[in-house]
Amino acid sequence: MTDPSTQFADKRSEARNAPPVAAGRHSPAIFFKAFFGLLLRDVRVLSREFIPFLLRVGMQPLLFLFVFTYILPHMAGGNPMATAGGMDFGTIILPGLMAVAIMFSGIAAVALPLSAEFGITREIDDRVMCPLPLWAVALEKVSFSAMQSIIAALLVIPMAYYIPAVPVKAHIANWFLMVLVLVLASLLAGSLGLVIGSTVNPKQIGLVFSIIVVPITFLGCVYYTWAGLGRIRWLQIAVCFNPIVYMSEGLRAAVTPSVAHMPWWAILGALVFFTSALGRLGLKGFLGRVLS
């Protein structure tokens, strides 16, 4: 290698205008810029993997709708599940599939990369060394994951419009509720991802999927309504501890209000509660990993 010092001479041109780091005063602007920089980095990485991202979040609801709301109704005897809630199945599972999309993308966007970055590669170091409080670095992860969750959830709507044999009765009467539920549910999913990503080591992440993610999905009022559980009272009460229930029910209230759903105040209250509880827990895990 030739001596790089010979390269120094007059190459400093434009970069000299860069912000003077040694400035004595610190304004909050530097924090916002750092936060924005982290978001920008994530957008860049996602943009390179946008098609895989769409396939990842779209494949499950696509196949689900295709099999249960198109193939089965076309088969003789019909779909026994379709009559479960006394309503067509497509309408029942549209909000549920949105909830699943939100949750899976939250976990894929936070838990998987974080677990790897903490583990083998330690890539997180550069971002942790940003001029930003550590909680804000974690918040950025959760926020960016929430954005992906929202895209994933919205992607389900056109599918539910075109695929089912029996049209889905979607009607967004209250846009405010819709936005609120969507954002809260996405932040909740990101917080859950933060908890998993910062506490589980990469080798066990597959196990976590089997023993946590799959059960809370199947028992998350995704494929049936909470009201429909009325006849299995113990289960109806037990699932109240499952945050996914409020995501599904919240989207039910917002997207398919004609289906029986929980009252909005219970939904929003629980979403806020679980988001802050999981967020706190996830942040604690995150700080524990980056700070010793």
Partner 1 sequence: MPPAPHRVNSLIVEIEALTKIYESKLRVVAVDGIDLELNQGEIFGLLGPNGAGKTTTISIATTRTLPTSGKVRIAGIDVVQHPAHARRHIGVVPQFNTLDRSLTVYENLYFHCRYFGFSHRQAKARSLELLEQFLLTERKDVYPAQLSGGLAQRVQIARAIAHRPTVLFLDEPSAGLDPQSRMAMWTAVEALRKEGITVLLTTHYMEEADSLSDRVAIIDYGRVLALGSPEKLKQTFGAQTIFDLKLRTHDGIEPLIAALKSRPDVSGAEPTAEGIRVMASSSDGLLPQMVQAASSYGLRDLAITEPSLETVFIQLTGRDLRD
Residues at the site binding partner 1, with contacts judged by CB under 8 A: 1-5, 7-8, 11-15, 17-19, 21-26, 29-31, 33-34, 36-38, 40-41, 44-45, 48, 121-134, 290-292
| Structural contact between residues 100 and 222, judged by C-beta atoms closer than 8 angstroms | yes
Q: How far is the CB of 112 from partner 1 (least distance, A)?
A: 12
Which helix (H) or strand (E) element contains residue 282? helix 264-290
Give least dist CB 208 to partner 1, A: 22
Q: Are 280 and 136 spatial neighbours (Cβ–Cβ below 8 Å)? A: no
Instruction: Report, in Å, the least distance between residue 17 CB and partner 1.
Output: 6
Whether the CB-CB separation of 267 and 253 falls below 8 Å is answered with yes
- Cα separation of 91 and 82, whole Å? 10
Least gap, CB of 131 to partner 1 (angstroms): 4
- Half-sphere exposure of residue 119: CA atoms within 13 angstroms, side-chain side: 16
3-state secondary structure of 190: helix
**84 or 128: whose CB is closer to partner 1?**
128
**Residue 16 or 203 having the CB closest to partner 1:** 16
Least distance from partner 1 to the Cβ atom of residue 18, Å: 5
Is the torsion defined by CA of 35, 36, 40, 43 positive or negative? positive
**Taking the complex as a whole, how short is the minimal distance between the CB of residue 149 and partner 1, in angstroms?**
20
Query: Among candidates 176, 169, 266, 179, which has minimal Cα distance to 221?
Result: 266
Would you give the distance in Å from CA 165 to the centre of its chain?
Answer: 29
Instruction: Quote the tokens at residue 271.
Output: 């979403």
Nearer to partner 1, 48 or 74 (CB): 48
